C-alpha cells in the first residue's frame, strides 16, 4: 500500500491542540488555514463506485457521500457512477487500483460476481468498504466491512404493519390480492424485500397475484403496474420495493380511474413502499395515497467516513454494521411494529410535516 501521512490535516490539528493545552493555555479552535494550504499528498484518496442515479434515494445517498469526502475533511474523492451496470463498477474498481487509491468504497448493484475484482484489490493491499447493498463472495476477507440496511427485516416490518392494519379493519386475509413490484433483480435490496414479502404473505395467507420487475425506477414501476393491471385486475394491494416505483404505480392506477388509499373494502388500492426520503413520496403518504413506507436510510456518508477514520487510526471496524430504521405511515392506528425481537416505531407523516 502506498505510504501517506495518516489523515494529516486532522492529525496536525490534534497535535497543535495538545501543544497549546500543555503550554497552559485554555482550549480554543485551531485555525487550520485556508483550504489551499492542504497539500495533495496529505489527502486520503477514496474511490467510490456508486450504483447509478436510478432513484430519489440514490441521489440523496450520493450527496451524503460527497458531503463528507471533501478536501476540508482531508479527502480526495474519485466518484464513479456505474449507471446500474456491474461491468462499469468492475472497470471503476480496476481504475481505482491503478491509481493507487487509499480506500475503495463500493455500493454494489448486485450481490454476486465480485470475487475476481475484489481479490485484485486485496492483492494491491487496498481496503474495500461495502456500503448499502451486500456482496456475496466466497471469502469474506475480500472486503473490510459493510454498512447498510437489513432489507429482509424492512420487508417483514412493512408486511407486519399491513397485517396489523387488516386485522384492525376486519379484513380477511383471503380478501388480500397483492402484487410485488420488485427492485433490480439480484440486488440485496430486492432479494431481502422480496423474501420478507414472500415469507410473510405465505404466513398470513394473502393471495400473491404477481411479482413484476421495476428496477427501482419510476418508469419501470409504471410499466410493471400496467402489466399487473392487465393480467390481475383484482389486485387491491401493491407492495413496491421503493418509492420511485410507488410513484410510478400511483400514476398508472390513477390514470386507470382507481383511487390509491387504505380503504380496500371500498375499492381503493393500497400502496406500500420503501425509502421515505423523497418529498413526493412523503407528500403521497400525507395525502393517504401511500399507506406505509419502510424506512431505508440513505445517509451513509458519515458512517463510511467514520469507518475510514477508525482504520486510519489503526483500529478495527466491525464487519457488519446494520442501520436501525423505522416506518412512516399516514395513520397513527399502529404506533409500533415488532418482529424477531426488533421493535420499530411508526412515524405519522401529515401535511404539516412537508
Residue 89 or 242 with smaller CB distance to ligand AHR: 242
Burial class (CB in 10 A: 0-12, 13-18, 19+), 324: exposed
Q: Are strands 237-240 and 342-348 parallel, antiparallel or unpaired?
A: unpaired
Tell me which residue has its CB nearest to ligand AHR.
57
User: Given CA atoms 79, 84, 85, 90 in this order, what sign does their dihedral have?
Assistant: positive
| CA 165/CA 336 separation, integer angstroms | 12
Shortest separation between residue 174's beta carbon and ligand AHR, angstroms = 30
Residues at the contact surface with ligand AHR, assessed by CB under 6 A: 54-55, 57-58, 132-133, 189, 216, 242, 274-275, 296
Shortest separation between residue 211's beta carbon and ligand AHR, angstroms = 17
| CA 325/CA 316 separation, integer angstroms | 25
Would you call 288 helix, strand, or coil by DSSP? coil
Q: Which three cell numbers stand for residue 65?
A: 457521500
Residue 150 or 275 with smaller CB distance to ligand AHR: 275
| CA 66/CA 181 separation, integer angstroms | 30
Residue 131 or 264 with smaller CB distance to ligand AHR: 131
| CA 158/CA 178 separation, integer angstroms | 13
| CA 89/CA 82 separation, integer angstroms | 6
| 8 Å CB contact between 182 and 198 | no
Shortest separation between residue 217's beta carbon and ligand AHR, angstroms = 8
Residue 261 or 276 with smaller CB distance to ligand AHR: 276
Shortest separation between residue 310's beta carbon and ligand AHR, angstroms = 24
Residue 147 or 171 with smaller CB distance to ligand AHR: 147
Shortest separation between residue 55's beta carbon and ligand AHR, angstroms = 4
Q: Which three cell numbers stand for residue 231?
A: 393480467
Residue 56 or 166 with smaller CB distance to ligand AHR: 56
Shortest separation between residue 138's beta carbon and ligand AHR, angstroms = 23
Amino acid at each position: 500500500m502506498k505510504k501517506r501521512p495518516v489523515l494529516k490535516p486532522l492529525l496536525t490539528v490534534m497535535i497543535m491542540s495538545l501543544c497549546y493545552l500543555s503550554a497552559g493555555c485554555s482550549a480554543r479552535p485551531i485555525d487550520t488555514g485556508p483550504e489551499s494550504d492542504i497539500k495533495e499528498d496529505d489527502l486520503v484518496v477514496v474511490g467510490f463506485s456508486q450504483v447509478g442515479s436510478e432513484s430519489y434515494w440514490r441521489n440523496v445517498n450520493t450527496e451524503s457521500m460527497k458531503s463528507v469526502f471533501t478536501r476540508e475533511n482531508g479527502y480526495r474523492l474519485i466518484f464513479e457512477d456505474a449507471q446500474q451496470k456491474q461491468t462499469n463498477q468492475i472497470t471503476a474498481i480496476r481504475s481505482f487500483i491503478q491509481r493507487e487509491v487509499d480506500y475503495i468504497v463500493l455500493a454494489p448493484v448486485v450481490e454476486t460476481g465480485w470475487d475476481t475484482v475484489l481479490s485484485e484489490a486485496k492483492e494491491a493491499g487496498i481496503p474495500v468498504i461495502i456500503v448499502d447493498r451486500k456482496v456475496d463472495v466466497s471469502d469474506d476477507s475480500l472486503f473490510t466491512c459493510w454498512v447498510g440496511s437489513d432489507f429482509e427485516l424492512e420487508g417483514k416490518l412493512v408486511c407486519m404493519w399491513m397485517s396489523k392494519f387488516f386485522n384492525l379493519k376486519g379484513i380477511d386475509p383471503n380478501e388480500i390480492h397483492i402484487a410485488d413490484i420488485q427492485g433490480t433483480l439480484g440486488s440485496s435490496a430486492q432479494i431481502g424485500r422480496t423474501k420478507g414479502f414472500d415469507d410473510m404473505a405465505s404466513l398470513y395467507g394473502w393471495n400473491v397475484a404477481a411479482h413484476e420487475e421495476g428496477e427501482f425506477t419510476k418508469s419501470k414501476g409504471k410499466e410493471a403496474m400496467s402489466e399487473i393491471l392487465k393480467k390481475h385486475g383484482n389486485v387491491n394491494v401493491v407492495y413496491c420495493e421503493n418509492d420511485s416505483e410507488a410513484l410510478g404505480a400511483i400514476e398508472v392506477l390513477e390514470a386507470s380511474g382507481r383511487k390509491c388509499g387504505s380503504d380496500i373494502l371500498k375499492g381503493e388500492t393500497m400502496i406500500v413502499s420503501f425509502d421515505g426520503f423523497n418529498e413526493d413520496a412523503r407528500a403521497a403518504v400525507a395525502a393517504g395515497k401511500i399507506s406505509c413506507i419502510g424506512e431505508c436510510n440513505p445517509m451513509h456518508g458519515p458512517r463510511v467516513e467514520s469507518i475510514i477514520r477508525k482504520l486510519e487510526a489503526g483500529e478495527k471496524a466491525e464487519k457488519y454494521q446494520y442501520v436501525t430504521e423505522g416506518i412512516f405511515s399516514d395513520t397513527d392506528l399502529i404506533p409500533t411494529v415488532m418482529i424477531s425481537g426488533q421493535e420499530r416505531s411508526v412515524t405519522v407523516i401529515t401535511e404539516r410535516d412537508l
